[in-house]
Structures are given as structure tokens and as C-alpha cells.
Structure 1
């Protein structure tokens, strides 16, 4: 049974994004990371949504490919123009080995169980050039008790939870991890930066990470 099903939720979201949506504004971490990259570097935005990062990076002069499994998101990026788009799943990337200088994946790769996550990280490593960087986020295990205070939930496999939260993507499997688990998953990478941060809501802990491909 596949567990990377959250794109069904997000596809519906992307079909009706308001002009003031936060999903149209690039994250400060992405802006800061981009300042460290060589001009014109080739970047894969893995799980690009409606293109808030892909489009911004392209405007800065980077060679960007936006990939997502949700057709509505891909269509929004295509309508904006200026970025190559690919409709595909994160654990089976249709690219050559070492095709990208860098990979970005913001709030994406934890949508699934550990098998999906391992395949996805393998694919990120495969398409990155040696010494290329990966900027991403993961869900922190510190977040699980906060979710359980709000919703009924169950752990369907190791570190993978679903919650009874209609109207949200929490109905789909999400992977939560400790720093130790995270580092084990990213075998083959060197840690450049790792921090556990709250997002907008109390208890919304995410690991923010920059990894360098060995």
C-alpha cells in the first residue's frame, strides 16, 4: 500500500489559491540559501506546489526545474511561465544521475512512511552532483504530542502517523523523527546546518536542514 497520498489533498488546495496566500511567498531560509549559490546553478524544486520558490529562484537567474505530483500546482507554475515543470512522484525522479547542482524540498518529503522517505532521499542523492546541497524540512518528533492534543491519531508504522483531522493533509501519512533518525536517513550526506524550529503555530516543530552530498 502506498503512503505518499497527501498530493491528493494539495492538488485540491492548489486549484483555489488566493492572491494573498502564504504559499505564494518564498521562505526566508530559501532566500538566504540562494545567496550562497553560484549564479546560474541548476536547481530542482522537489514538491514545488504552485511555484513560490521555483519562480522566485528563476527570477534570480537560476536554472530551475519544478517537480510536483499535483497537476493543479504544475499548471499554476506553467501559467506563470519561466520554469520547466515535471509532473512526477518524489521517490522516482525522471532525471539523470548528478543532473542538479542543488535540490530544494520545502515541507514535502515527510509525506509518507519510512520506505517512501528512504527512496526519496536516495533519489535526491542520485540526482545531485557531488558537493551539491539539499535544503529541506522534516517533521520533528517533538511535534507529535501537540498533534495528539488536537486530534485522534495512530502510528501506522515506525515514526509514521495519521490523524483524524478532516479537511487537512494530516489525514494522510506523515513521518516524524528525532535528530538521530534524521541523520541516519541522510547517510551519504554531510550536515551543514540542522535546526528544530516552530513554524506559525505553537508546537509546529520542523527540522530545517542543509545537507551536502558526499
Structure 2
């Protein structure tokens, strides 16, 4: 059994690095999420050019954005994720700038992107870690930039299970999946507070594939005067 991480740091990529090594593990994460695909019309309307797929997994959204005509970068802390994303991009015949790096220290300069996607990513860790991930998104976005993310809701059936390693953050020592690593859950008020000074444009709380797997689905916009300092 994997030793549980109770220090609140972001370590779930260790689990996913193993998942991405198998075809069965990659299969459930190879299809573009419709919620992400539906955002393309807005991105084109906003004249978005440079996009980042943050914690890109096996590259499904990065390849989708590149095929949709955007200049796309993608980053993940998992070596295997980047290897598989490289294969996916080559098979699709598109260019994606792929890099290995943590969400806490993104390997990009300030004010570099028009849009960032963080799908099932930044809630890995305790509240302080999550705030750090948001600050990095703000830093690399241009003023007025958009970012789209999912966050674990407190309606999620895993909220409150296991050991609380910080306010709203839990580890499940007996888990056989990534819940052995810290996961942070929030309500609507904290969702808004963590993402300040960005403005919430859209949000809904819905289940993913499993019953009770509620996640916030959000679209935020940085203020024009904020710049990339977070």
C-alpha cells in the first residue's frame, strides 16, 4: 500500500504516473470533456491565441486545443504523462509545447497565456497548496486572461473521509487510488475567495462519472489591471 501523505503537499502525480503507464489507465482520460470543448467558441470570440493545459495528463485537451487552431503549451509533473502526451500529439499531427513541472512553479514567464485550463488538477494538496496553484495561474496569465478549472465540492462524497490534514483537505490512508494523497474540498464562498482577484464568470456544481462525485466547474477572468503577479 502507498504510504499516505499527511503533510498537505501536492503529490497525487505519483499515483497518476503509474496510471498513465497502462492502456487501461489511459483509456478513461483520452476523450475531450464536452464542457471544455464548449468553451472554444468563447475563446475564439475573445481572440485567444496562447493556451496552457495545466496538469495535462495524457494530452487529450492539449491535442484538442492544438487541433482547434490555438498555440498550445502543456505541463504535468508526471514524466509518463508528458511521454504519452507527446505520442498523442504526434499521432494527431499537431505541435504542443510539452514540459515537465509542478503546479506550484510553472515553467513559464509572467503574462504568457491568454487562457489556462486546469481540469481535475489544482485541488491536489491542502488549502495553502491550492492557493499557490491559483497564484501561479494568475502569474502566467495576461491581464484580462481567462482560466477554466474544476474544484472538488464539499458536496463530494469523499469530503470528510479519512484524516484532515488542513481545513477542508483530507487524506484517506486506506485508499487504493489518489485519495491517499491530499485533496481539498470547498464551498462556493471559498471557491471565490481562493481565486481573488479574478472574477467568477460561470460556475456549476455537478457529478462526474461516479455517483456523489461533485466538482465545481468554473470559468474565471483576471482583471485587466491585475497583470501576472497574482
TM-score of the two chains, using structure 1 as the length reference: 0.93
Work out whether residues 47 and 67 of structure 1, in 8 Å CA contact, stay in contact via their aligned partners in 2.
yes
What is the RMSD computed on CA atoms of the aligned residues? 1.7
Q: Which has the higher contact order (CA 8 A, sep 6+)?
A: 2
Q: Indicate which of 147, 154, 165 corresponds to 2:158.
A: 147
2:56 match: 48
Measure how far apart 1:94 and its partner are: 1.5
2:215 match: 206
Structure 1 counterpart SS, 2:155: helix
Aligned mates of 2:124, 2:72 — CA distance in 1:
23
1:6 match: 12
Work out whether residues 6 and 111 of structure 1, in 8 Å CA contact, stay in contact via their aligned partners in 2.
yes
Aligned mates of 2:214, 2:136 — CA distance in 1:
25
2:23 match: 17
Aligned mates of 1:148, 1:18 — CA distance in 2:
27
Measure how far apart 1:139 and its partner are: 0.1
Q: Indicate which of 137, 140, 144 corresponds to 1:127.
A: 140
Is 1:33 matched with 2:42?
A: no
Aligned mates of 2:107, 2:27 — CA distance in 1:
30
Work out whether residues 125 and 188 of structure 1, in 8 Å CA contact, stay in contact via their aligned partners in 2.
no
Q: How does 1:56-67 map to 2 (within 5 A)?
A: 56-67=64-75
Is 1:118 matched with 2:135?
A: no
Measure how far apart 1:148 and its partner are: 6.7
Structure 2 counterpart SS, 1:209: strand
TM-score of the two chains, using structure 2 as the length reference: 0.87
1:75 match: 83
1:197 match: 206
Which consecutive unaligned segments of at least 5 residues does structure 1 have? none
Which consecutive unaligned segments of at least 5 residues does structure 2 have? 1-6, 224-230
